[in-house]
Amino acid sequence: MNPLYKIGITHGDINGIGYEVIMKALSDPKIVEVCTPIVYGLAKVSNYYRKILEMNDFTFQFIKNAQQFSPKKPNLINLRDDEIKISMGESSDFAGKLAEISLSAACADLKNNLIDAIVTAPVNKFNMQSPSFKFAGHTEFFSEQFKTQNTMMVMVDDALKVGFVTNHTAINETGKILNIELVLRKIKILNNSLIKDFLCTNPKIAVLAFNPHAGDNGLFGNEERTILEPAIKQAFEQNINAFGPFPADGFFASGQYKQFDAVLAMYHDQGMIPFKILANEGGVNFTAGLPIVRTSPAHGTGYDITGKNIASPAAMRNAIYWAVDILNNRKAIT
């Protein structure tokens, strides 16, 4: 019998719902049947939230490093033993630093093949900013760590997958950076990921328009005619089944997305809003194009509900399962 994959889980922002969704997800006995979870966190913080959430039946196996992992148990590498100030529901620079420490430790172990994939709990992108961390988010961090610029944020659900041409870009900057080469490159990344990571045969990709009503023949903008249509045409000429551009509103409202294996959105909210509505609480963020597997629950730190014992673990649980599935899919085609 093959050993189970070791899935590293970063603890995210200690003042948010990270520990709650991690512990709730790992309370499901099915998790340790498909993988060995290794959390990069803090024993004192996990014990604090275990008491607050009255999760008396849940325990971590505390270990010093990933090599000491215990199979069939949720493991936690205790990154430091000093006193930790927890301010539930509040942003702090200290929480940002602890999130960076967890992320860096897990990434180092992944590079050294001590774990097989990473699942990242939510962070506060603002409080993580420091001289040692100047990334807009996890996607940009992992792209730099693994020297891979051809990456893409892909939101994943059983019924819908959405890739993005731009990630965390201001709306007034998005139109300035769109060009044929960028859109074509993103179509290729999404297509390759669908084949390699999700085992789609001859995938079909829908490309969303940039302007309302796909520009209405130039009435509301020319990006469809000058950028998107040429990029789609070039993709099709390279045997990629890319179609569009489709007006985003009617595309989702009519259920047309069900006819495609994935959708390519031009900017964050264009794809994220319909995805989160359709995926409900179970959506997962996956970084396509990396040589490693990284997933994350598709929600934020949840400061407003921290400590209230109402955070759903569905997305965290799904992020773990998808990490395992993608590892298996990549192995199946090698």
Q: Among 263, 283, 303, which residue terminates a domain?
A: 283
> Sorting pLDDT into bands at 50, 70 and 90, what band is 317?
very high
**Of 317 and 222, which is predicted with more confidence?**
317
Residues 96 and 168 in one domain: no
What is the arithmetic mean of pLDDT over 24-29? 96
Mean pLDDT of the chain: 94
Q: Is the pLDDT of residue 140 over 70?
A: yes
Q: What is the mean pLDDT of residues 120-149?
A: 89
What does 297-322 look like in DSSP terms, one character per residue? ESS---GGGTTSS----HHHHHHHHH
Regarding whether 182 and 59 lie in a shared domain, the answer is no
Give the mean model confidence (pLDDT) for residues 321-331.
97
Phi-psi region of 66 (alpha: psi -120 to 50; beta: other; left: phi over 0): alpha
Residue where a domain stops, chosen among 283, 298, 320:
283
- Residues 3, 136 within the same domain: yes
pLDDT tens by residue, 204-238: 999 999 988 876 777 778 888 999 999 999 999 99
The strand order across the sheet containing 75-78 reads 61-63, 75-78, 35-41, 5-10, 117-120, 294-297, 284-288, 152-156, 161-164, 262-265, 204-208, 241-246
Q: What domain range includes position 171?
A: 150-283
Q: Are residues 31 and 105 in the same domain?
A: yes
What pLDDT was estimated at residue 224?
Answer: 86
Percent of the chain with pLDDT over 70: 99
Tell me what the mean pLDDT of segment 121-144 comes to.
Answer: 89
pLDDT confidence band for 190 (50 / 70 / 90):
very high
Same domain for 136 and 82: yes
Residue 170 and residue 127 share a domain = no
Highest mean pLDDT among 58-62, 137-141, 147-151: 58-62
Residue 82 has pLDDT above 90, yes or no: no
Closest CA to 307 of 16, 24, 13, 60: 16
The pLDDT assigned to 1 comes to: 42
Write out the H or E segment, with its range, that includes residue 233: helix 229-237
pLDDT of residue 113: 96
pLDDT beyond 50 at 243? yes
One-letter amino acid of 261: D
Same domain, 188 and 278: yes
Q: What is the pLDDT of residue 218?
A: 72
Residues 2 and 129 in one domain: yes
Does the predicted model carry a pTM greater than 0.85? yes
Looking at the structure of the chain, the number of domains it has is 2
Q: Say if residue 3 is in the same domain as residue 137.
A: yes
Residues 262 and 332 reside in one and the same domain: no
Let me know whether 205 and 276 are in one domain.
yes
Closest of 198, 171, 153 to residue 333, by C-alpha: 198
Measured distance between the N- and C-terminal CA atoms of the chain, rounded to whole angstroms = 19
Q: What is the CATH number of the domain that holds 220?
A: 3.40.718.10
Average pLDDT (323-328) is 97
Count of residues making up the chain: 334
CA distance 242 to 206: 6
User: Does 19 score more than 70 pLDDT?
Assistant: yes
Whether residues 237 and 299 share a domain: the answer is no
Question: Where residue 2 falls among pLDDT bands split at 50, 70, 90?
Answer: low
Tokens of 209: 């328009």
Q: How many CB atoms lie within 10 A of CB 34?
A: 16
